[in-house]
Amino acid sequence: MIRTRDLRHAYPAGPALAFADVDVPQGGVLLVQGPSGAGKSTWLALVAGLLRAQTGQVEVAGQDLTALPGAQRDAWRGRHLGFLPQKLHLSEALTVERNLALAYYAAGLAEDRSAIAAALQALGVADLASRRPGQLSGGQAQRVALARAVLLKPQVLLADEPTASLDDAAAESALGLLRACAARCGATLVVATHDARVRAALHDAQVHRLDAAPLPA
């Protein structure tokens, strides 16, 4: 579940952003929509604990993130959240298998190579385990990043512009994979986008819409 109240954030060189209150039940779907620059990525970062809320409350999967100091927040995020960023952040120095292993280090857990293999198999990229990210197509890299995001069976799965630069068929496939992975984990799914195709694809779900907007000067 995700619950926010009176959430605001301001960058030193930018306007303050105010976000509508949100209540998303466990296993629900939240569509964070709005034009570029409206604060969608900022809202995701606040919910993921990558940014600490300056004002307001953020509760995710039963944890008040504002109550956790930085190191504890990082460890909690590694164990309970899966994040598929727009820039996939796969390490070019590591193989696909070792990129997934980073999820265990981030969470402070012992590595489970059989679970890594199973995650890659579930996303149809098991044969790529020994390759490096530079040897992957864009679609393959996204599947690898998604495998890493769901490896530890997170309670919340966040995706930032997952259909950016994808054609219609690839976008439909990416969204289907997100829905399927979230369902397998019983995770709350959050998709931040300005892509109308995503809104159309999620029309049959219990979707919560959040329109982030800057505060007036």
How many CA atoms lie less than 13 Å away from 119 in the CB half-sphere? 27
Which residue bears the tokens 């952003």?
17
Backbone angles phi, psi at 157, to 5 degrees: -120, 120
* Dihedral sign (CA 40, 46, 49, 50): positive
Q: How is the chain split into domains, by residue range?
A: 2-214
pLDDT at 53: 84
What size, in residues, is the chain? Answer: 217
pLDDT at 215: 57
**What is the C-alpha to C-alpha distance for residues 194 and 86, in angstroms, rounded to an integer?**
13
Chain-centre distance for alpha carbon 178: 10
**65-to-51, 77, 170, 200 alpha-carbon distances in Å:** 10, 9, 34, 32
To which CATH superfamily is domain 2-214 assigned? P-loop containing nucleotide triphosphate hydrolases (3.40.50.300)
Beta strand 156-160 pairing with 188-193: parallel
Question: In this structure, what token pair is assigned to residue 140?
Answer: 């393959």
pLDDT at 191: 93
pLDDT at 205: 67
pLDDT at 211: 65
pLDDT at 216: 53
pLDDT at 66: 87
pLDDT at 210: 67
Q: Which helix (H) or strand (E) holds 30?
A: strand 29-33
pLDDT at 14: 75
pLDDT along the chain (217 residues), means of 10: 92 82 91 80 91 91 89 91 92 97 93 96 95 94 94 95 86 89 92 85 70 58
Residues ≥6 apart with Cβ < 8 Å to 153: 184, 185, 187
